[in-house]
Amino acid sequence: MNTYKYIGLTIIFAVISASRLHAAGEPAVSQGDDGSTTLTFPNGQTFSLPAGKGLLGPSSNPTSQTPFANADGSLIAVNEQPMTKTSFVHIYLKGPDGRFTEVKNANQKIGKAAPANAQKVEPDFIRVERVSGKTLDLETVDFGSKPTKRLLFKVTIAADGAITAAR
C-alpha cells in the first residue's frame, strides 16, 4: 500500500513540475541516449546541444538542470557543460512572432562585452548565475591560476541579440 502512495505522489509531483516549467516559460530538458541535450520550448520549438556532461547550474547548485528564464519568458539561458571545467552559455530570445532564436557565439560576445575593469574573462568557462529582465549575472573561472580565480559580472542582452556590459 505504501508503494501506491509513493507512486501517486511521484506522478502528482511530475505533473506539477512540468506545468510550472512551461508556465514560467522555461523549456523542458531531456537527455538523449547519445548524451545530447534537447530543450523543448513551450511553443514546441526544440534546440539540441551536442553530447557532453549536460547542463550546468549556478555555482550555488551546479547539478541543476533547470534553464534560466526571465519573468516574461522572452529570454532563456542555459549553461552547457561539454566536459569538465568548461561551460558554454546558450541564449535564446523570443521574437515578436513568439519564436525563439539562439544568440550565436555567446561566450565570445560575452567575453568582449565584459566590463573594462574586469580581469580576464575565460571564454571556455562562462556560467549564468541568474537572469533578471534582460540582464545576465555571470561567473567566469580561471582554473589555471592558483588559487582558482572567480570573476562575477553582468551583461545586458538587447532584442537583436547584441551583448553589452551592464551598468
0.85 surpassed by pTM: no
- Give the strands of the sheet with 46-49, arranged side by side: 28-31, 37-40, 46-49
Grid cell at residue 46: 526544440
Q: What is the pLDDT of residue 119?
A: 67
Q: What is the pLDDT along the chain (167 residues), one digit of tens a residue?
A: 444 444 433 333 333 333 233 335 788 999 888 889 999 999 999 999 988 888 888 999 999 989 999 999 999 999 999 988 999 999 999 999 999 999 999 999 999 998 776 667 888 899 999 999 999 999 988 888 888 888 899 999 999 999 999 97
